[in-house]
Amino acid sequence: MSVSSGIAHGAAYVLSSVDETLVVRRSVDATEVDAELARFDVALAAAEKELLALGEDVALRIGTSEGDIFAAQALVVRDHSLHRQVVSAVQQNRVNVEAAVADVIEKFVRAFDQVSDPHLRERAADIRDIGRRILAALAKDDESSVLEIPEGSILVADELLPSATARFELSRVHALVTDRGGKFSHTSILARSSRIPAVSGIREAPLKIKTGDHLIVDGVSGVVFVNPDESIRGEYERLEAELSGYRAGLQKGLDLPSVTLDGTAVPLLANASKVSDTEAACLYRADGIGLYRTEFAFSIRGAFPSEDEQYQLLKRAAERIHPRKIVLRLLDVGGDKQLSYFPLPPTRNPSLAQRGIRLLLKHPDVLKGQLRAFLRVSAEHPVSVLLPVVGGIEEVRATRAVLAQAMAELGAEGKAFNPNVPLGAMIEVPSAAVLTAVLAKELDFFSLGTNDLVQYVLAADRENDSVGDYYQPLHPAVLRVIHFVADAARDAGRPLTICGEMAGDPAYTELLLGLGLRQFSVAPGEMLEVKNAIRAATLADAEALATAALAKGSTSEIEELLEQRRLARR
Ligand code: PEP
Ligand code: MG
């Protein structure tokens, strides 16, 4: 399945992993075994120490029973059987200690996954966590375990979670090939924003593909060729040349305004999740940062970033995009986005459980710390605050109460902030969409998060390949909800930006304009193509297209309509 468009070729670089922690697998010779085992002992001691400290921190911030989880994990780190099995894997299989840890953890996890007792099954997650922590400790002690990926490689892995991608320079990688990870998973979003072709759903990719194999990754049709013959190579060389010519043509549009053919300005903002994304946003002449996802800074750390760390990072992002605005979204964890140090109650249905603002309101200190960091940045930069996964007005009011406390504290400490910082909500839960007019009375702006909206309107998990066919952004129900929200926001005089992945697909731009959207926030790498589509549209035609689409009763009819429109324009 294609998760990020584009074509690339190059040598495969295969990684093993314990969840998001990727390790290079290499053979060691007899003389290296002792040194590897010594590194293992140092890492175990460091992991144990870290877990005990984390247990104390979490007990303070979240609760004693949550803190105990880490104390229990510290005991497992000292477990003899884990130690014995890793030692024997290094000695007998002659692999580096990272690969041995990954193998042993995988074996433990499989054993736990198979038991029928649900409580024991949940231990599998703990074991993974422990594995990640030991690997992180090994990474710290050994410079060589930082992933030195050769320039131009094609990364092959089971799954690449966002925090894993922080361990190497994504810009050195020419494409990604994974076994797991849906089109709307966060790594796919990252790949698209970095313009890296990516294909997922290649079963057992790390076992079937070897480091050094020549790969062609066709991120347009979702196919990967392993050591292809000359005729396939020739075909793709031609296509790559055509695509780069097209992109060079688009670059010429860099300084052209984002305005429809009939003269309506359509601000084009960028989505970002790390400071360097603001650099790309500037390069592509973004009108601001329409969505800054703060999860990334949390996910690459082993413990809560302090208020000051958050402030420093966000200040750098805001400075880079200044004087344009930056919309900072409060932490959206829960659902598909987990943090190892923020234990959530076990649930069968994470997307329908505690996540986003619901979770933050359960942990007001975490919420207040983040709001304080945002407010401090607002002293010097045009910051707006965005609430994730809002379901109704109560969550808005409860957040405002914490915001007021944060302001009072900062005031008392003599720290500057903008007392009128705009507050907005993601419209991504159907109840919030229905209540747009009600929410508008107490909020300053909205952001339409179609990634979640589609999953909740259609009851189709965005991360689950097996219901991928039901996840249909062009479903008639989705289009009606978008149209409804756009009308309601306009009637209430509240700006609405669309920031879900639909916004970044130029095939949808005209339709979205017709449905009433007038501001888009997309990955920097998608800006030029979307701008091109905006500049080729007139509102009259867009509205006629949207009216025709809204009259259709099925996704396939709407797809057919868009296809006819595309052919007619050509
Ligand atoms: C969305 O849901 O559309 C969105 C932009 O948020 P995220 O993808 O981070 O959940
Ligand atoms: Mg969302």
Name the catalytic one among 9, 186, 381, 483. 186
Q: What is the pLDDT of residue 525?
A: 81
| Residues 439-448: tens digit of each pLDDT | 999 999 999 9
Report d(CA 468, CA 67) in Å as an integer.
Answer: 37
Each residue's pLDDT tens digit, 264-294 = 999 999 999 888 778 778 888 999 999 999 9
pTM: 0.72
Over residues 207-226, mean pLDDT? 86
Query: Are residues 132 and 299 in contact, defined by beta-carbon separation less than 8 angstroms?
Result: no
Ligand 2 centroid vs 428 CA: distance in angstroms? 6
Measured between alpha carbons, how far is 120 from 114 in angstroms, rounded to an integer?
A: 9
Give the closest residue (by CA) to ligand 1 atom 7.
451
- Ligand 1 pocket at CB < 6 A: 291, 293, 332, 428, 449-452, 499-500
Contacts of 408 (CB under 8 A, 6+ apart): none
Highest mean pLDDT among 97-101, 147-151, 564-568: 564-568
The residue that leads in pLDDT, 315 or 278, is: 315
**For position 165, what pLDDT does the model report?**
63
The string of pLDDT tens digits covering residues 175-195 is: 999 888 777 776 677 787 777
**Cα separation, 254 vs 277, whole angstroms:** 17
Q: Relative to the CA of 448, which ligand 1 atom is closest?
A: 3
Ligand 1: which atom is nearest the Cα of residue 295? 9
Q: Is 282 a catalytic residue?
A: no
Angstrom distance (rounded) from CA 222 to CA 30: 43
Among the options 174, 381, 483, 499, which is catalytic? 499
381 is catalytic: no
Whole-number pLDDT of residue 546: 98
User: Binning pLDDT at 50, 70 and 90, where does residue 21 land?
Assistant: low
For 228, the token pair is 């292809």
- Residues, Cβ < 5 Å to ion ligand 2: 428, 449, 452
Confidence band for 479, pLDDT divided at 50, 70 and 90:
very high
Distance of CA 288 to the CA centre of its chain: 19
> Between the CA of residue 104 and those of 19, 23, 99, 140, 566, what are the distances in Å?
13, 14, 9, 20, 52
Nearest ligand 1 atom to the CA of 451 is: 3
Count of positions (residues) in the chain:
570
How far is the C-alpha of 182 from the C-alpha of 189, rounded, in Å?
10
Residue in this structure with the two tokens 């979490």, named with its chain if needed: 58
- How far, rounded to the nearest angstrom, does the alpha carbon of residue 301 sit from its chain's CA centroid? 15
Q: What is the pLDDT of residue 475?
A: 98
The ligand placed nearest to the CA atom of residue 192 is 1
Indicate which residue's Cα is closest to atom 6 of ligand 1.
449
Give the residue with greater pLDDT, 51 vs 382.
382
